[in-house]
């Protein structure tokens, strides 16, 4: 624990420790996030990778304090700029939301209000945190932001409705709205999944430019390993609500250690290499979060479960150092086994080649 309450300059802006998010349902307790820890400094980008149901979006909603307290059990620590928001009063979180942390959603058409002009919506977001600002000031600020995110003719565009914007323009408007109060932490949940590749490239470039300009901490949540490779500094791979591998982007992409990460890399086709080689898919389906497999949650889909006695079936693996500094993996395989299997089975397939 740090002794000083206010974080020093090199302290991470966001620190999540042992986060657990559970939803009681009629069918049983859904453990959507089960003991995840990570941190992000200002100017850094963390990529969170996982499939549907891995808990990546639930994690981001917790950081924004968007879960309904009556229906959700949250424990652990989410420290944003030195303040822990777990259990914090709704009103206080609302004061922070937008100003300290903001979110860019996947689908801008459903995240923008269809009934209000785009400029009005951005100005409203500004006025929430600047109640003394006049309407004219807020509108001016909205137009500035639209200009900053690369929307041509921002004055005219601010007076249009979301349906008059193309998909890429809407996502730019979403980013403008998220950044209008200069938040230090920006969470982008699948920000480019709904977009075409050429527009995706524009949005990713924009996020990088804005990060350089505002020195923000960014979390990008995605299932696309290519997006992670391009913009992330650090990577967190999630499976069934747990972190199974973390490290720098080089470590995780170039010397992945967990069989699930291998599976992701070997099952995505590449633009390079031999196109005739078959992909190596991960067998089976992601597990139900109500009824997780005992031991390692990945064991029913893992081709190497059982190489280490029956530990995979009885013991939940903890994140442990995986060789290089800062690289951690939650797997029962020994380091030697992992190196051997990676070279023999994985290194030639999909984007891993």
Q: Write out the binding residues for other proteins, residues 116-175 only, by CB under 8 A.
A: 166-169
Q: Which residue in 33, 253, 297, 333 binds other proteins (CB under 8 A)?
A: 253
Q: Which residue in 12, 43, 82, 226 binds other proteins (CB under 8 A)?
A: 226
Q: Does 197 bind other proteins (CB under 8 A)?
A: yes
d(CA 297, CA 284): 13
Q: Write out the binding residues for other proteins, residues 267-286 only, by CB under 8 A.
A: 267-272, 275, 278-283, 285-286
Tokens 């190596």 belong to 280
Closer of 89 and 196 to other proteins (Cβ): 196
Q: Does 236 bind other proteins (CB under 8 A)?
A: no
Q: Which of 20, 50, 68 is nearest to 287 (CA)?
A: 50
Contact track, other proteins, 5-44, x by CB under 8 A: ----------------------------------------
Rounded to the nearest whole angstrom, what is the least distance from the CB of residue 54 to other proteins in the complex? 9
Token output for 106: 């996947």
Closer of 166 and 215 to other proteins (Cβ): 166
d(CA 260, CA 170): 34
Rounded to the nearest whole angstrom, what is the least distance from the CB of residue 16 to other proteins in the complex? 24
Q: Which residue in 37, 72, 160, 230 binds other proteins (CB under 8 A)?
A: 230
Rounded to the nearest whole angstrom, what is the least distance from the CB of residue 232 to other proteins in the complex? 9
Handedness of CA 52, 237, 224, 63 (dihedral sign): positive
Q: Are 248 and 209 in contact (CB under 8 A)?
A: no
Reduced to 3 states (helix: H, G, I; strand: E, B; else coil), residue 220 is strand
Element (H, E) at 15: strand 14-25
Q: Which of 252, 257, 263, 243 is nearest to 336 (CA)?
A: 257
Tokens 């459903």 belong to 110
d(CA 273, CA 270): 7
Kindly list the residues in this chain that would bind other proteins in the complex (CB under 8 A): 51-52, 166-169, 196-202, 204-205, 208, 223-231, 249-250, 253-254, 263-272, 275, 278-283, 285-286, 350-351
């Amino acid at each position: 624990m740090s002794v000083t309450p206010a974080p020093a300059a090199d302290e991470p802006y966001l620190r999540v420790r042992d986060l657990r998010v559970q939803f009681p349902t009629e069918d049983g307790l859904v453990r959507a996030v089960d003991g995840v820890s990570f941190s992000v400094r200002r100017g850094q980008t963390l990529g969170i990778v996982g499939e549907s149901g891995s808990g990546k979006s639930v994690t981001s909603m917790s950081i924004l304090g968007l879960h309904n307290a009556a229906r959700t059990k949250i424990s652990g620590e989410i420290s944003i700029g030195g303040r822990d928001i777990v259990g914090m009063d709704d009103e206080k979180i609302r004061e922070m939301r937008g100003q300290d942390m903001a979110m860019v959603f996947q689908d801008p058409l459903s995240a923008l209000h269809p009934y209000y002009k785009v400029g009005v919506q951005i100005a409203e977001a500004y006025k929430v945190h600047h109640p003394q600002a006049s309407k004219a000031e807020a509108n001016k600020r909205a137009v500035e932001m639209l200009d900053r995110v690369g929307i041509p003719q921002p004055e005219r565009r601010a007076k249009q409705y979301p349906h008059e914007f193309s998909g890429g323009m809407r996502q730019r408007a979403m980013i403008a709205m998220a950044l209008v109060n200069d938040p230090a932490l920006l969470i982008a949940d699948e920000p480019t999944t709904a977009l075409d590749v050429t527009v995706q490239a524009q949005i990713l470039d924009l996020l990088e430019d804005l990060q350089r300009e505002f020195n923000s901490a960014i979390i990008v949540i995605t299932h696309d390993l290519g997006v992670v490779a391009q913009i992330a500094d650090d990577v967190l791979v999630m499976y069934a609500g747990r972190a199974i591998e973390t490290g720098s982007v080089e470590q995780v992409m170039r010397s992945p250690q967990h069989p699930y990460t291998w599976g992701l890399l070997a099952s995505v086709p590449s633009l390079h290499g031999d196109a005739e080689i078959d992909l190596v898919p991960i067998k089976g389906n992601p597990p139900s979060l109500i009824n997780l497999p005992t031991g390692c949650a990945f064991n029913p889909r893992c081709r190497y479960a059982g190489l280490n006695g029956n530990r995979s079936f009885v013991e939940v693996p903890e994140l442990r150092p995986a060789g290089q500094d800062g690289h951690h993996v939650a797997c029962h395989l020994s380091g030697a086994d992992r190196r051997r299997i990676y070279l023999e089975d994985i290194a030639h397939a999909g984007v891993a080649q």
